[in-house]
Amino acid sequence: MFSAKRLLISLIIFFQLTTAFAEVRIVPLSELVPEEKHIRASELITHILTTYHYKKTALDNNLSSSIYKHYLENLDQNKAYFIKSDINEFEKYRYKIDDAIINSHLEPAYEIFKRYRERVNERVNYALKILDHDFDFNVDESYRFDRREDDWFANKEALDELWRKRVKNDVLNLRLTGKETEEIKKTLSDRYNRIRSSTLQLNSNDVFQSFINAYTTSIEPHTAYFSPRTS
């Protein structure tokens, strides 16, 4: 008798056997493309989800829109990296992701991720640049932590203002712990650089995992796919 669970286990083993364990490194942009194993895996996952999953969900434009939304949330849930022009450009994929999955055309997910990586690098550069600023803590202003329900910022200038407040808030929090100026700069510099390095280390498998999980969670929140690194 066919077992969807057994097939999923076999899929995980397949990825583990076809992925070499390498040292953590900066992944070149040229390597951020779907590989043959990802195409085969997406075909198998699609077959399982559309045929054997208990929740029968058609892979159509409605699901495509949900996958698109979840994928953007997976990358930038707090809307701190993409700007409105990015989202407008990505909008062409909203109702085409279903066709992309059916036709094993996974490139849109990787194109969106490459732009995300570019934006993360820009944000970190900006945060590091303003660490030397003398922030005025007598100004009455606030920093909004949770932006999940907010709209995307219109431009980089507006995003700069968000990150100015973020850095200022980080500096203030460390001051309140008694840290000195140079120690604060070192701590935050390391923190922001970790954001950059962890993003630049994400490889093709990681992008595939994020995209496929946008697909699986669009069907059912507790259905997930794990990349070899994660599993």
With a pLDDT cut of 70, the percent of the chain lying above it is: 83
Tens-place pLDDT, residues 48-65: 887 766 667 788 999 999
- Rounded to whole angstroms, the Cα distance separating 82 from 66 reads 18
Half-sphere exposure of 188 (CA within 13 A, CB side): 27
Q: How many residues does the chain have?
A: 231
Q: What is the pTM of this model?
A: 0.85
Tens-place pLDDT, residues 151-173: 999 999 999 999 999 999 999 99
Tens-place pLDDT, residues 168-193: 999 999 999 999 999 999 999 999 99
CB-CB contact of 113 with 210 (8 Å): yes
pLDDT at residue 186 in the model = 97
The CA–CA distances, whole Å, from 5 to 38, 63, 93, 231 equal 19, 23, 31, 15
**Secondary structure of residue 26 in the 3-state scheme:** coil
The angle formed by the CA atoms of residues 221, 226 and 231, to the nearest 5 degrees, is 130
Question: Does the CA dihedral 8-10-11-17 come out positive or negative?
Answer: positive
- Rounded to whole angstroms, the Cα distance separating 189 from 181 reads 12
**Secondary structure of residue 160 in the 3-state scheme:** helix
CB-CB contact of 105 with 199 (8 Å): no
Query: Is a pLDDT exceeding 60 seen at residue 211?
Result: yes
Closest CA to 136 of 160, 165, 110, 114: 165
106 Cβ contact list (under 8 Å, min separation 6): 34, 38, 39, 42, 100, 208, 211
Our CA dihedral for 5, 6, 7, 11, rounded to 10 degrees, sits at 100
Question: Cβ–Cβ contacts within 10 Å for residue 191, how many?
Answer: 13
